[in-house]
Chains A and B, each alone.
Chain A
């Protein structure tokens, strides 16, 4: 037991810091109804600002801290309030995309300023320790716990006792009534955002010394707070605090256990994501209520593809693909990988565009496919068969992720898929069944009939065409129509007697199959495959952002959106050798995704085409019942 005491102490200290971030997240979510996926990135930016002021500009740390918190809190509080207001009438998917876009933007800004290499972060707090009950305790840890507790108590009192705090609790239920009390709803929301982002900043600055100045890691650490927020049902601050402490103590204690068992080495870091996924999976119905969901009217839906893509429109695509090996010989491998990502994007499109569900773990399905086909080929299975099996093996994984999708929607589904992706990434990528413990990438083989680069390149569009037909089949089949209907009005579909709960399952299974096949193709394109090709953050998130971006114009079909996204994500970066320009590109993607989310609320009436009526009469704009209302 004594061995574990120091671990418990450090778990409580870490937990307090994560709790600060989580409480900030809950606070702004409660008041605005917008779940801020960029919360961690804001914390990372705050760490960067503090680093600048303290380490580079040499300010004393208390001053640097105060300036950082005020600056970051106010700037992002105001920015986030505006963003939230602009997407208030957008679909849940677009709300998620807007904060994902901000996350991508901030991460690339951070990387532009501080580079992608982790910098040593100065220990600005006292490093001295004291002994209590036989355990060495650092003052740093004491401060972390005190700050965490202080903020938790202060916030609880603020929420319960002040007008502004009460206003924040009331505003999501009924903003108009808040206004009737003479309180400006915008002011109330803005302060909620300011407090929320300040909390993220506090967490970012205090966590940074232990892990260094690294945007992605800092962002991820705050994502660990999502699990705590889930324990607090995304609403209770004390429970959130408690949840964060419990999770971090578990992480600390299990790292001790894992150090004795090499096979469990990756288990501790995956615990926060497992907790988040399990809470979402197991929470009873009605336990997690989407904040503000009842208030939004779905004014517009995501632009949908026309279902009759004329063959003529495919011609330029076919010509482009046929010419690629001749035009872009030096970058052929990137073009190959890009073509594979078209398939991956199409699989995502099935979820995001057709059924209005969001998946932030598409790369996880791809990783399953990639490793499955690698191992199957190693065991002597024919290449083509292994490819199909890779897709088939991904199906049950997709079905598993779809279990929460049956009950959860919108932001909670996004969180479930994100946590699943991060869990698999942290816990299972290293297992021998997947990429293995060896840091070296896996050497993959191409099929005997397509050994050359060019031949392999041409193989992709062939597989892609099959995938495209499958997507088209689903889109045009009854399932596609039902998914569209469900996205428009689930209650209407239920009232027609359709049991809608299993529809997401079918969509997820198909998407997982396609992503699995795509994943299996990635390795052989360059000859090696490693876990770094399949990160949830940022790759899975970029996929979503780019898909939405590609589909900004509703005239762009599934294929067009997928093609554009894949070229932006894979092909263009291959032409860019400068790290800064690459980050600049990501920055552009982030900003453009936010803009696409804003734009979605401006789209006027969506278009639809008559699908199967034989009579083919010209649609008459004239009214039947009482004429002359709309021409």
Chain B
């Protein structure tokens, strides 16, 4: 469904954020991209959804080379990227956000379907999205893939800054998305959240893939912590 081949990205000519990253998301599967802060996970997603230009490599989506495609065209072809922490328009009302999310369908239908998933939305329809709490904002952002029914959803740090119970709720929803047969590429800093339902896991550090395999090969918590906390742990 989605393939990154040898993708290299640098914001300036001299520094590379991603160096030679290859990963693939087969149709209908859930793939998790894990790693500590600054590993380049977010950049990998931005490369996939065509928000940053590639220095080297290519992106293939649904059998089509989309490397040179602008991000709105990739979105129209069914690639839905929910960016980190800001998947909503804070200056617009919740209703306006939903209207933009589900722009192919009547507004009332989009609202009804969103409310069915997240009942809190009904009370806050006319509130500015910027006044929602972090959890509510994230759930609102997640209604977009639900309404759009894309071929693949890229989720970036959906649990960031959220309390555990909220994260539970968010992940229950993500499971439902996966249950609909939508492919998922999930970036997450919390390993345990995704290792239970991901089909395949990539572990990144310093802009490169350091591990690729099914979750059961990932190793113990201590090994992963080694990745996250660095050598400090082993001292």
Contact = CB atoms under 8 A, between A and B. Distances in A.
Touch A–B, Cβ below 8 Å:
yes
Contact of B92 (A170, A180, A630): A170
Contacts of B115: none
Nearest 10 A/B pairs, CB to CB: A182-B75, A179-B72, A170-B89, A182-B76, A179-B71, A163-B103, A184-B72, A629-B14, A166-B96, A180-B81
Interface in B34-76: 49, 51, 70-73, 75-76
B70 A184 contact: yes
B72 A185 contact: yes
B86 A174 contact: yes
Interface residues of A, number: 20
Interface in A134-181: 160, 163, 166-167, 169-170, 173-174, 176-181
A183 interface: yes
A177 B86 contact: yes
A180 B83 contact: yes
Contacts of A178: 72, 100
Q: Most chain-B Cβ atoms within 10 A of its Cβ — which of A170, A177, A182, A629?
A: A182
B116 interface: no
B172 interface: no
Interface in B17-39: none
Contacts of B51: 176, 179-180
Contacts of A184: 70, 72-73
Contacts of B70: 179, 184
Interface of B: 14-15, 49, 51, 70-73, 75-76, 80-81, 83, 86-87, 89-92, 96, 99-101, 103, 144
A373 to B, nearest CB: 51
Interface of A: 160, 163, 166-167, 169-170, 173-174, 176-185, 629-630
B90 A173 contact: yes
A323 B80 CA distance: 70
Nearest to B46: A176
A177 B100 CA distance: 11
Contact of B75 (A167, A174, A179): A179
A181 B144 CA distance: 9
Contacts of A169: 89, 91-92, 96
A180 B75 contact: yes
B91 A180 contact: no
18 contacts: A163-B103, A166-B92, A166-B96, A167-B100, A169-B96, A170-B96, A173-B89, A173-B91, A176-B51, A176-B83, A180-B75, A180-B80, A180-B81, A181-B101, A181-B103, A181-B144, A184-B72, A184-B73
A166 B89 CA distance: 10
Nearest to A188: B72
Contacts of A180: 49, 51, 71-72, 75, 80-81, 83
Nearest to B52: A176
B216 to A, nearest CB: 34
Contacts of B86: 174, 177
Contacts of A160: 96
A262 B227 CA distance: 83
Given A179-B75, A180-B51, 7 more contacts: A160-B96, A166-B99, A169-B91, A170-B96, A173-B90, A176-B51, A180-B75
Contacts of B80: 180
Contacts of A174: 86, 89
A181 B51 CA distance: 12
B72 A170 contact: no
Contacts of A629: 14-15
B92 A177 contact: no
Q: Most chain-A Cβ atoms within 10 A of its Cβ — which of B14, B75, B86, B101?
A: B75
Contacts of A163: 99-100, 103
A177 B75 contact: no
Contact of B100 (A170, A176, A630): A170
A630 to B, nearest CB: 6
Contact of A177 (B14, B76, B89, B99): B89
A34 B96 CA distance: 24
Q: Most chain-A Cβ atoms within 10 A of its Cβ — which of B51, B83, B96?
A: B96
A478 B73 CA distance: 52
A173 B14 CA distance: 29
Contacts of A176: 51, 71, 83
A31 to B, nearest CB: 13
Contacts of B87: 177
Contacts of A185: 72
A177 B71 CA distance: 9
A106 to B, nearest CB: 31
Contacts of A179: 51, 70-72, 75
Contacts of B72: 178-185
A187 to B, nearest CB: 9
A163 B81 CA distance: 19
Nearest to A169: B92
A352 B86 CA distance: 36
Contacts of B91: 169-170, 173
Q: Most chain-B Cβ atoms within 10 A of its Cβ — which of A173, A180, A185?
A: A180
A163 B72 CA distance: 15
